[in-house]
Chains A and B, each alone.
Chain A
Amino acid sequence: MSLLLAAAETGQSASPDMWASVLHGLSILRNIAVIICLASGLFFVLAGTFGVLRLPDFFTRLHAAGMTDTLGAELIMLGLIIQDGFTLLSLKLLLVSFFLLMTSPTATHAVANAAYQAGLKPLIGRYKAPSPTDIKEEA
């Protein structure tokens, strides 16, 4: 980048070497964007998985899975699209992410509605996690 600026100041035309260094700088920027997208997407996906495993009630688990899956999936797809550039593969990835964006909240809503209609009551009130002594008393 600095080479290009120096060339502009001195009025010289940029040589192929300078353009190559500019392209290299841009590819580093692109890789940083990809890493940020993939890492934050993975964070959301893993957080949702931990929520589904650890939360006490069906509706809280649904909340964890439904929201984080949508955002995490979109972020990972965005990372892959940035990584590939303007190609046919990017168009297909965009299509996949569009379908995920449409179907994932719809499926979450359908599962929640079906569970509520079937009479599954949400856990209401302050939840106290079971301590080891409680489990001993039950046994």
Chain B
Amino acid sequence: MDDFMSYINLGTAFFLLVSMAMMLGRLLLGPTLYDRLLAVNSFGTKTVLFLCVFCFVIGRPDGVDIALLYALMNFIATIAVLKFFRYRALDVSLAESHISKANAESEGA
């Protein structure tokens, strides 16, 4: 019965890898920046899932810590890339950028 469950885990890991490969297709095809960003974000989520399932396949629980770290890194990386492509700089605080944007709009009007 344990052998059977390990095959189930192996199949889950394999189909997660297939799903990640298909997501790479959208990353390469994506017409806009946001399509690519969406693909990267989804790829990261699937990587976390794959790490957790693969820990069960090889029988070593160490990878779950890495998966936890990867889940947090993935979120922060997405937000950082979005902020960079909106303000073209990473050292702008979000509060300041909102104030400067409001000033620019009032000057324009």
Contact = CB atoms under 8 A, between A and B. Distances in A.
Contacts of B8: 34-35, 38
Interface in A79-100: 80, 83-84, 89, 92-93, 95-96, 99-100
Nearest to B14: A42
A42 B15 contact: yes
Interface residues of B, number: 44
A99 B56 contact: no
B34 A99 contact: no
Interface stretch (A1-9, A107-115, A125-133): A107-115
Nearest to B72: A99
A53 B22 contact: yes
A84 B55 CA distance: 11
Interface of B: 1, 4-5, 8-9, 12, 15-16, 18-19, 22-23, 25-26, 32, 34-35, 37-39, 41-42, 45-46, 48-49, 52-53, 55-56, 61, 64-65, 67-68, 71-72, 74-75, 78-79, 82, 85-86
CB-CB nearest 7 A-B residue pairs: A103-B75, A115-B34, A49-B19, A92-B64, A89-B61, A65-B42, A114-B82
